Amino acid sequence: MVEEKIIFYHSKMKIRCFFPSRLRKKHFISSLSSLLVICALLLLCLKVTVKNSVIVEQYGTTAGYDDVEPPHRYNIDCNAIYNMDPAEVGKSLVIRKQGVVWEQDESLINLTSNCPRYLRSRGYGTVQVSEEEQAFPLAYSLVVHKSAFMVDKILRAVYTPNNIYCIHYDLKSSELFKEAMEGLARCLPNVFIASKLETVMYASISRLKADLNCLSDLMGSEVKWRYVINLCGQDFPLRSNIELVADLKKLQGGNMMETSRPSKYKKQRFSFHHKLQNAAFEYIQMPVKTDKAKEPPPRGIQMFIGSAYFADVTDLMSKTRLVKWSYLEGPLYPTCTGKHVRSVCIYGAGELYWLMNYGSWFANKVDPKSLSSVWRRN
């Protein structure tokens, strides 16, 4: 019988495997196929890890339930990315395209069921505050509706023990998400859930009410905060707390709130009645214009439009929140290197240098895989 030969090439090494017969060749191929199936099943098992025993970080790490390890960072050089090194930016783009085991809200519930373990795993005991920060406490309003671990990371990034934090979660959020938020408030003494909660509909008055509810609670807080900053669940700080304090002191008691003259389209928002209709995305409903006109503003008041985000007690130079809109890329800022969701850029590692040097305090929206590098720069 003619001896058959199969040669496998792996990298620069050449491995020769000889099969004296067709039968052995078929047996080898069958065994190899079985091995590949087993490997695929093992990978699938890793993807659906038991939620009660494993915590899956957004940075890609898994930590045991009873032995929580420090957050993992991808094997990339954040300083090189900040300096726009092509090789390192390219590596980050490859990582971004890789599949990620996203965390479940239940994992944070499990972690916060033991507050000492949670505080230790997040490094809350290592937070240090300068005398300047101690004398200038800040308040935060966080209006959130999903991704408990993302909220956890935002909270940890802006946290100091002398600040005060109000979390407003959407009443239509999942029960697991609500429980995870309650867990955060239970473990951190200066974090609380808003006393009145709203069912938040995108671009409707309920979004404003959510912040007002937190503001009302913060007004009654024993913490004598100097300024309140409101965030959503996809914002991330670009400045440390001491840098924010220094910038806010320069306002000398003034506010930083964005306002502008409304476009023809925006004028319709206050010139016509709107009603909520079902929407084909996560907010379920959103306001839609009707043909019923409203009365004009009394006494000829000139109407201006604002923004949902502010630093209370903006002009075009507002520092509060940096958003990159797809239709303004090019004339006002570089093209998005990440992806777009409803015309908003989801920042990737390629935006790191621009983000850190633009001068804004917070970025919206940030790819979770980029958080490690932003965290390191802060």
- Residue 343's pLDDT is 75
Residue 35: predicted pLDDT: 47
| Model pLDDT, residue 179 | 98
Same structural domain for residues 228 and 165? Answer: yes
DSSP, collapsed to helix, strand or coil, labels residue 82 as helix
Question: What pLDDT, on a 0 to 100 scale, did the predictor assign at position 98?
Answer: 62
pLDDT at 72: 46
Tens place of pLDDT per residue across the chain (378 aa): 444 433 333 333 333 444 445 545 455 455 545 544 444 444 433 333 333 333 334 333 333 444 444 444 556 676 776 667 777 677 766 666 665 555 789 999 999 999 999 999 999 988 889 999 999 999 999 999 999 988 999 999 999 999 999 999 999 999 999 999 999 999 999 999 999 999 998 778 888 899 999 999 999 999 999 999 989 888 888 889 999 999 999 888 887 666 778 888 778 878 888 887 776 655 567 778 888 888 888 888 888 876 654 444 433 345 677 777 777 777 677 778 777 777 778 777 677 777 777 778 888 777 665 555 444 555
Identify the pLDDT of residue 53: 33
Domain match, 289 and 203 both: no
Distance of alpha carbon 238 from alpha carbon 97, whole angstroms:
24
Is 63 domain-assigned? no
pLDDT of residue 81: 65
Amino acid letter for position 48:
V
Could you tell me if 22 and 119 lie in one domain? no
Task: Output the pLDDT for position 5.
Answer: 37
Going by the DSSP 8-state scheme, the letter that residue 236 receives in this structure is E
Which amino acid is located at 54 in the chain?
A: V
In this structure, are 319 and 220 located in the same domain? yes
In a domain, 86, yes or no: no
128 and 17 fall within a common domain: no
Residues 206, 290, single domain; the answer is no
Q: Which of 64, 226, 72 is nearest to 134 (CA)?
A: 226
Residue 5 neighbours by CB distance under 10 Å: 11
Residue 51 has what pLDDT? 37
Which residues are bridge partners to 287 per DSSP?
276
Does the predicted model carry a pTM greater than 0.85? no
Could you give the CA distance from residue 164 to residue 177 in angstroms, rounded to a whole number?
A: 21
Q: Please say whether the beta carbons of 136 and 164 come within 8 A.
A: no
Provide the 3-class DSSP secondary structure of residue 34: helix
The answer to whether residue 93 sits within a structural domain is no
Do 374 and 364 touch, CB atoms closer than 8 A? no
What's the CA gap between 225 and 139, in Å, rounded? 6
Do 283 and 322 lie in a common domain?
A: no
Same domain, 163 and 177: yes
Domain coverage including residue 320: 105-261+304-377
d(CA 196, CA 215): 11
- Asked if residue 69 belongs to a domain, the reply is no
216 and 115 together in one domain: yes
Evaluate whether residue 252 is within a structural domain: yes
**Would you say residue 59 lies in a domain?**
no
Query: Is residue 52 in a domain?
Result: no
Inside any domain, residue 94 = no
For residues 216 and 315, state if they share a domain. Answer: yes
Q: Quick one: 127 and 248 in the same domain? A: yes
Please give the Cα distance from 352 to 238 (Å, whole number).
10
pLDDT of res. 364: 78
Structurally, the chain folds into a number of domains equal to 3
Same domain, yes or no, for 268 and 257?
A: no
Residues paired with residue 259 on neighbouring β-strands, in sequence order:
306
Residue 346 has what pLDDT? Answer: 76
Helical spans, DSSP H, in the chain: 22-47, 78-82, 86-97, 105-112, 115-122, 131-134, 148-158, 175-187, 205-219, 241-250, 264-271, 352-358, 371-377
pLDDT of res. 145: 94
From residue 365, alpha-carbon distances to 180, 231, 257, 314, 324 in Å are 22, 11, 20, 19, 9
